[in-house]
Amino acid sequence: MRRNWVLHPPGDEAHRLATALKINPLIAGLLLRRGLSDHGEIDRFLNPSFEHLQDPFVFVDMAKAVERIRQAIRQKEKILVYGDYDVDGITGSAILYPVLKKLGADVEVHIPHRMNDGYGLNRDSLEKLLRQKFTLVITVDNGITGADEVRYLNEKGADVIIVDHHTPKEEVPPAFAIVSSVAGGKGDNNLAACGLAFKVAWALLGSLEQALEYLDLVAVGTVADLAPVLGDNRIILKLGLPLLAKTKRPGLRALMEVAKIEKHFVSYRDIAFGLGPRINASGRMGSPLAAFKLLTTENPLEARNLAQILDQGNRDRQRVEADAFEEAIGQVEMDPGKEEQKIIVLENAAWHEGVLGIIAARLVERYRKPAIVISLKGNVGKGSGRSIPSFSIYDAMLPHETLMVNFGGHAQACGLTIQKENIQALRQSLNRADYKMGDLSEGVDLAVDGQMLAADIGAPFLKALGQMTPFGPGNPKPLFVSKNMKVRGEVRKRGKDTLQCWMTDQAGKITLEVIGFRSYGRWMSDGQEKSAVDIVYQPALKTFNGITSIQLELEDWRSG
């Protein structure tokens, strides 16, 4: 789908800010578009410090949670950390487990199996786990929608501490403590569950310096969960990514090796497309305990073996995902009413549960609509939903909760269990609802932050732009347009569908490398090999084998 380019050139306010701070007007415009105009706020954004991290005891129930955990340690109670099977839950569990061990706790970790247990607190699993006499259960990345399960644990004599960033349903679980910004409305609401686990670890250890040992894991979980790169998350990633590159954790080192990530620098993209998918693959295609063991082992040999297992699981996931995605596209294209569908709802008995979220996300990317993808097993379907940035799929689904067996999630993602007989009713109900069409259509437009001449894309500008990294949700990558660019030489295909070429300006004086992920097929079908084109891109400095050069990451193009 072609996107409309909406240019946001720096205005008068940006030029005044640029003059005051002695920065490029394009950079000033980017800061203003992120709501930053105060000089102090801008300085904290561009130069984040650990001192700017929010105190963990800002969370309303943090003191209660810490005291209950310390009491359990003193009284030799058995503690269960009940994580989730995605990267956020696994990294959060991998933070709390060693911290509790270090403090002398009798603690075990349970990571539910996606197929056998499903998302969140599972009653059958809890019943079996309670035979081990746990009296304190700490949930990580789940629990906030499990009011019945928390009530069951309480009845069996176990207190519950919920560490979760998801949105609660109408009834907040009767937990002993809830560490989340939704409890009391205080605390940074950008944090993923691993970030909340980091806060709990910091509070338990009583020292930020000691807690920083786990910042590499927080960075991995934060990126993989697509948490906003705002507030504490920006500090965690800006300062945590360099620590990740230097990590001594055998599991992460081994995983970086199989993912072919340069060990001197780890980027947001390296986590999003390298480390994250491999950790997630254990929860999608096999047992998530393999990933948990990888992140907590101190044995390099075990780490290498586990990294190989996760790497193979990721290859299996890619194959299964590719087949399912093609089938999903076929379903959408064969629907005569596809243009009228506001929310895509698909089901298939052959689809693997482990790839549903990925398929939904790719459908959102392709069709610019929210998507729900359901795998059927007999008369029961399990599904995942994803949404466009401006539309809350959680809010859209909530009024239809009676059609589902289970449902939970947040604005951009949800999970559900549903009887087969109710899927069509859910599809019809969702698409009859009166949504703001402006919300649904937003995201088709491509925001462009300014126009640049090729000659202006130099190292000084890119170093200043680099201060705004890492880019991600909430701090989107800046995009610029350059007009009448021409391909110099041959357009090459790199990997599955990556485009790589060199482009020169109209005068032929400036030549720059261009790379376009998932772009080769469309480029060639457009017949753009030799014609002049206007290109939208993210510019950056790249370093390979010690050599630094400029690279433009292609986002979109059209005939010049």
Model pLDDT for residues 35-44, shown as the tens digit of each residue: 999 999 999 9
**Tokens in use for 394?**
């959680």
pLDDT tens figures, 204-229: 999 999 999 999 999 999 999 989 99
| H helical segments located in 297-418 | 300-334, 356-367, 393-397
Quickly tell me which residue has 């746990």 as its tokens: 134
Give the pLDDT of residue 170. Answer: 79
Max CA distance (Å), the chain: 77
Listed in sequence order, the residues at least 6 apart from 240 whose beta carbon sits closer than 8 Å to its beta carbon are 215, 216, 218, 219, 222
Give the pLDDT of residue 527. Answer: 67
Residue 423 φ/ψ region, left for φ over 0, alpha for ψ in the -120 to 50 degree band, beta for the rest: alpha
Give the pLDDT of residue 309. Answer: 95
Is pLDDT at 179 greater than 60 in this prediction?
yes
CA distance 164 to 192: 8
Give the pLDDT of residue 471. Answer: 95
Structure confidence at residue 529 as a pLDDT band (50, 70, 90): low
Structure confidence at residue 4 as a pLDDT band (50, 70, 90): confident
Give the pLDDT of residue 22. Answer: 94
Superfamily of chain region 4-12+445-559:
Nucleic acid-binding proteins (2.40.50.140)
Is pLDDT at 439 greater than 80 in this prediction?
no
Give the pLDDT of residue 337. Answer: 82
> Mean pLDDT, to the nearest integer, of 441-449?
73
Is pLDDT at 18 greater than 50 in this prediction?
yes
Provide the residue count of the chain: 560
**Tokens in use for 395?**
């809010």
Give the pLDDT of residue 444. Answer: 61
Is pLDDT at 459 greater than 80 in this prediction?
yes
> Mean pLDDT, to the nearest integer, of 494-523?
89
CA distance 435 to 320: 34
Listed in sequence order, the residues at least 6 apart from 355 whose beta carbon sits closer than 8 Å to its beta carbon are 284, 317, 320, 321, 324
Mean pLDDT taken over the chain: 91
Is pLDDT at 440 greater than 70 in this prediction?
no
Give the pLDDT of residue 441. Answer: 47
Query: 507: how many CB neighbours lie within 10 A of its CB?
Result: 10
> Mean pLDDT, to the nearest integer, of 419-432?
93
3-state secondary structure of 339: helix
**Model confidence, pTM:** 0.87
Is pLDDT at 458 greater than 80 in this prediction?
yes
Structure confidence at residue 437 as a pLDDT band (50, 70, 90): very low
DSSP letter (8 states) at residue 171: S
Instruction: Tell which CATH classification among 3.40.50.720, 3.40.630.30, 3.40.50.10880, 3.90.1640.30 matches the domain 56-309.
Output: 3.90.1640.30
CA distance 282 to 294: 11
Give the pLDDT of residue 31. Answer: 96
Structure confidence at residue 453 as a pLDDT band (50, 70, 90): very high
CA distance 328 to 338: 13
Candidates 114, 77, 88, 134; CA nearest to 292 is: 88
Give the pLDDT of residue 277. Answer: 93
Quickly tell me which residue has 């259960």 as its tokens: 137
Task: Give Cα 388 to chain centroid, integer Å.
Answer: 14
Give the pLDDT of residue 408. Answer: 82
Report the share of the chain in percent with pLDDT over 70: 97
Is pLDDT at 303 greater than 60 in this prediction?
yes
**Tokens in use for 383?**
């599904």
The residue extents of the domains of the chain are 4-12+445-559, 56-309, 328-441
Instruction: Tell which CATH classification among 3.10.310.30, 3.40.50.300, 3.90.1860.10, 2.40.10.340 matches the domain 328-441.
Output: 3.10.310.30
